[in-house]
């Protein structure tokens, strides 16, 4: 596996880059905006294609690079269900998995530092964001932080992982880089407590100042969605009502860009064709399945995904590739469901 632990020194943030092979797909966890150029360069140097950019939670100390990386690489942006951000491509929750070629992260919901904190586990390691640090834990005094939730996440989600699991945190302010679950259970001074009340007693008396840029950074991180006022996208967006009319009148190919797991969990629009976003280029190249379906490029196509971000990116890619009659569903399946439009269960992929 290709694994890089990258450090941003102003806010002491760790960012993780993972890939399974040179020439293959990569994902990045908790990227920092100011380091975007560095990530792009490193991806090129390691011959990796970034396909997913993930944040463990809405950060209060730095601006995320999720939006910038999406704009540069067309990667899928991923956050947890509980994150109050305007647009990400994909949302995950406890029990879901985040997959790329050769790598699979199991999603653990670990609130407490914030109400939207998630950890991501692999068989040998866990990325804990700000839930668990090396010999420390994330503060619980803003962004709907909660001591009882934190205690539960630490003791019932993270410390129950196998002893030898490597712990890769979202920050370290002392220069440590990695630990293990057994080490933290034994030596982390905040974890030497027997009850949630005792843990709260420690956390309530930390007396920490707020992060310097919190008032700027949190709002920025909540608004990282793609600029949908982009003229090409705006004029080719359909709302759920118009999409429903197209479905009823027939003749439009509905294309679902989501992954199989999302389709199984949420359902699909009747009769739609499945083209996973990550394989779009295969489907639209000359001779590809979608290119064949679209004929001379005049057959109407309606792209949709979970929230309208992947479909907007795909729309731009397909326009460049010569597809003429394409629209996308603004707001994705989420908006479709909110308008009470019907779904059906997909056939097994
Ligand atoms: Fe944080």
What is the tens place of the pLDDT at every residue in 67-108?
999 999 999 999 999 999 988 999 999 999 999 999 999 999
Kindly give the distance from the C-alpha atom of residue 30 to the centroid of ligand 1, in angstroms, as a whole number: 10
Kindly give the distance from the C-alpha atom of residue 46 to the centroid of ligand 1, in angstroms, as a whole number: 29
Q: Which of 134-148, 154-168, 225-239 has the lowest mean pLDDT?
A: 225-239
Q: CA 259, 262, 263, 269 torsion: positive or negative?
A: negative
Kindly give the distance from the C-alpha atom of residue 288 to the centroid of ligand 1, in angstroms, as a whole number: 43
Work out the angle between the directed axes of helices 66-73 and 36-45 (0-180°, nearest 10). 40
pLDDT at 228: 62
Kindly give the distance from the C-alpha atom of residue 139 to the centroid of ligand 1, in angstroms, as a whole number: 8
d(CA 95, CA 55): 17
CB atoms within 10 A of CB 215: 10
- Whole-number percent of the chain with pLDDT over 70: 98
Kindly give the distance from the C-alpha atom of residue 104 to the centroid of ligand 1, in angstroms, as a whole number: 23
pLDDT, tens digit, for every residue of 229-255? 688 899 999 999 999 999 999 999 999
d(CA 72, CA 68): 6
Kindly give the distance from the C-alpha atom of residue 313 to the centroid of ligand 1, in angstroms, as a whole number: 29
Kindly give the distance from the C-alpha atom of residue 233 to the centroid of ligand 1, in angstroms, as a whole number: 33
Kindly give the distance from the C-alpha atom of residue 140 to the centroid of ligand 1, in angstroms, as a whole number: 9
Q: What are 313's two structure tokens?
A: 């990116």
pLDDT, tens digit, for every residue of 286-310? 989 988 888 776 789 999 999 999 9
Kindly give the distance from the C-alpha atom of residue 130 to the centroid of ligand 1, in angstroms, as a whole number: 5
pLDDT band, very low/low/confident/very high, at 349 (cuts 50, 70, 90) = low
Kindly give the distance from the C-alpha atom of residue 3 to the centroid of ligand 1, in angstroms, as a whole number: 22
Kindly give the distance from the C-alpha atom of residue 149 to the centroid of ligand 1, in angstroms, as a whole number: 15
pLDDT at 229: 67
Kindly give the distance from the C-alpha atom of residue 278 to the centroid of ligand 1, in angstroms, as a whole number: 29
d(CA 76, CA 73): 9
pLDDT, tens digit, for every residue of 314-340? 999 999 998 989 999 999 999 999 999
Kindly give the distance from the C-alpha atom of residue 174 to the centroid of ligand 1, in angstroms, as a whole number: 17
Kindly give the distance from the C-alpha atom of residue 277 to the centroid of ligand 1, in angstroms, as a whole number: 30
- Per-position b or e across 122-147, b if 16+ CB within 10 A of its CB: beebbbbbbbbbbbbbbbbeebebbb
Kindly give the distance from the C-alpha atom of residue 268 to the centroid of ligand 1, in angstroms, as a whole number: 35
Residue 145 has pLDDT above 90, yes or no: yes
Kindly give the distance from the C-alpha atom of residue 11 to the centroid of ligand 1, in angstroms, as a whole number: 10
Highest-scoring range by mean pLDDT, 206-210, 224-228, 294-298, 309-313? 309-313
Residue 148 has pLDDT above 90, yes or no: yes
Report in angstroms the alpha-carbon separations of 341 from 3, 233, 271, 330, 337.
43, 22, 14, 14, 6
pLDDT band, very low/low/confident/very high, at 345 (cuts 50, 70, 90) = very high
Instruction: Over range 199-222, report the average pLDDT.
Output: 92
Contact present, 317 and 278 (Cβ < 8 Å): no
Average of per-residue pLDDT values in the chain: 95
pLDDT, tens digit, for every residue of 28-37? 999 999 999 9
Q: Which of 46-50, 85-89, 115-119, 267-271 has the lowest mean pLDDT?
A: 85-89
Kindly give the distance from the C-alpha atom of residue 334 to the centroid of ligand 1, in angstroms, as a whole number: 27
pLDDT at 277: 97
Kindly give the distance from the C-alpha atom of residue 68 to the centroid of ligand 1, in angstroms, as a whole number: 19
Kindly give the distance from the C-alpha atom of residue 58 to the centroid of ligand 1, in angstroms, as a whole number: 7
Instruction: Over range 167-190, report the average pLDDT.
Output: 97
């Amino acid at each position: 596996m290709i694994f890089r632990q990258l450090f941003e020194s102003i806010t002491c943030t760790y960012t993780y880059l993972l890939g399974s092979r040179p020439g293959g797909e990569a994902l990045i966890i908790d990227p920092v905006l100011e380091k975007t150029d560095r990530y792009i360069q490193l991806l090129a140097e390691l011959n990796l294609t970034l396909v997913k950019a993930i944040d463990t939670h809405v950060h209060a100390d730095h601006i995320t690079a999720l939006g910038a990386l999406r704009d540069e690489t067309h990667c899928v942006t991923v956050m947890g269900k509980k994150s109050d951000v305007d647009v990400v491509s994909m949302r995950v929750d406890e029990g879901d998995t985040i997959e790329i070629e050769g790598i699979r992260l199991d999603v653990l919901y670990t609130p407490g530092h914030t109400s939207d904190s998630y950890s991501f586990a692999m068989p040998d390691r866990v990325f804990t964001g700000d839930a668990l640090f090396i010999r420390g834990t994330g503060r619980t005094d803003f962004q709907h932080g909660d001591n009882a939730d934190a205690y539960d996440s630490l003791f019932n989600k993270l410390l129950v992982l196998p002893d030898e699991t490597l712990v890769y945190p979202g920050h370290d302010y002392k220069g440590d880089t990695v630990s293990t679950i057994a080490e933290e259970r034994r030596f982390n001074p905040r974890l030497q407590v027997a009850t949630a009340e005792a843990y709260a007693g420690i956390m309530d008396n930390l007396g920490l100042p707020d992060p310097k840029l919190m008032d700027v950074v949190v709002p920025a991180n909540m608004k990282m969605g793609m600029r949908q006022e982009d003229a090409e996208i705006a004029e080719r967006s359909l709302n759920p009502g118009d999409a429903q009319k197209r479905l009823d009148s027939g003749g439009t190919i509905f294309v679902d860009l989501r992954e199989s797991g999302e389709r199984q969990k949420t359902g699909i629009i009747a009769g739609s064709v499945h083209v996973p976003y990550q394989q779009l280029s295969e489907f639209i190249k000359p001779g590809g399945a979608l290119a064949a379906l679209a004929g001379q490029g005049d057959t109407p196509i309606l792209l949709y995904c979970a929230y309208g971000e992947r479909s907007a990116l795909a729309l731009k890619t397909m326009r460049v590739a010569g597809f003429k009659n394409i629209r996308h569903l603004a707001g994705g399946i989420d908006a479709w469901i909110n308008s009470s439009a019907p779904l059906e269960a997909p056939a097994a992929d």
